Amino acid sequence: MARPGAACPPPARRVMVAARALLFWALVYSYCGVCACIAGLRLLWSIGRRPGETFRWVVRENPPACLNDPSLGTHCYVRIKDSGLRFHYVAAGERGKPLMLLLHGFPEFWYSWRHQLREFKSEYRVVALDLRGYGETDAPSHKENYKIDCLIADIKDILESLGYSKCVLIGHDWGGMIAWLVAICYPEMVTKLIVVNFPHPSVFTEYILRHPSQLIKSGYYFFFQMPWFPEFMFTLNDFKVLKSLFTSQATGIGRKGCRLTAEDIEAYLYVFSQPGALTGPINHYRTIFSCLPLQHHEVIMPTLLLWGERDAFMEVEMAEITRIYVKNHFRLTILSEASHWLQQDQPDIVNKLIWTFLKEETKRKRE
- Considering the entire predicted model, what is its pTM? 0.90
The pLDDT value recorded for residue 361 is 65
pLDDT per position as a tens digit, 53-69: 888 889 999 999 999 99
The pLDDT of residue 20: 67
As a whole-number percent, the residues of the chain with pLDDT over 70 amount to: 90
Q: What is the pLDDT of residue 294?
A: 64
Task: State the pLDDT at residue 4.
Answer: 44
pLDDT at residue 271, rounded to an integer: 98
User: Who has greater pLDDT, 85 or 2?
Assistant: 85
Per-residue pLDDT at 65: 97
Can you give the pLDDT at residue 364?
66
CA distances from 98 to 67, 93, 214 (A): 25, 10, 37
Active site members: 173, 285, 340
Mean pLDDT of 336-341: 94
Q: How many CB atoms lie within 10 A of CB 232?
A: 14
Q: What is the pLDDT of residue 42?
A: 82
Read off the pLDDT of residues 190-249 as tens digits, 9 standing for 90 and up. Answer: 999 999 999 999 999 889 889 989 988 988 998 899 899 999 999 999 999 999 999 999
Residue 293 binned pLDDT confidence (cut-offs 50, 70, 90): low
pLDDT in tens, 97-137: 999 999 999 999 999 999 999 999 999 999 999 999 999 99
Per-residue pLDDT, 9:
57
**Do 260 and 254 meet the contact criterion of CB atoms below 8 Å apart?**
yes
Q: Which residue has the higher pLDDT, 28 or 282?
A: 282
pLDDT at 367: 60
Q: Can you give the pLDDT at residue 6?
A: 45
List, in sequence order, the alpha helices (H) in the chain. Answer: 10-49, 51-54, 114-120, 148-161, 174-185, 201-210, 212-217, 219-223, 229-247, 262-272, 279-283, 317-321, 342-345, 347-366
Residue 96 has pLDDT above 60, yes or no: yes
Q: Spell out a b/e string for 142-170, using b for 16 or more CB atoms within 10 Å of the CB, else e.
A: ebebbbbebbbbbbebbbeebebebbbbb
CATH superfamily of 65-205+287-359: Alpha/Beta hydrolase fold, catalytic domain (3.40.50.1820)
Per-residue pLDDT at 22: 66
Determine the pLDDT at residue 292.
Answer: 61
Q: Which pLDDT tens digit goes with each residue over 342-363? A: 999 999 999 999 999 999 866 6
Mean pLDDT, all residues of the chain: 90
> Quick check: 252 pLDDT over 70?
yes
CB 341 within 8 A of CB 313: no
pLDDT at 279: 98
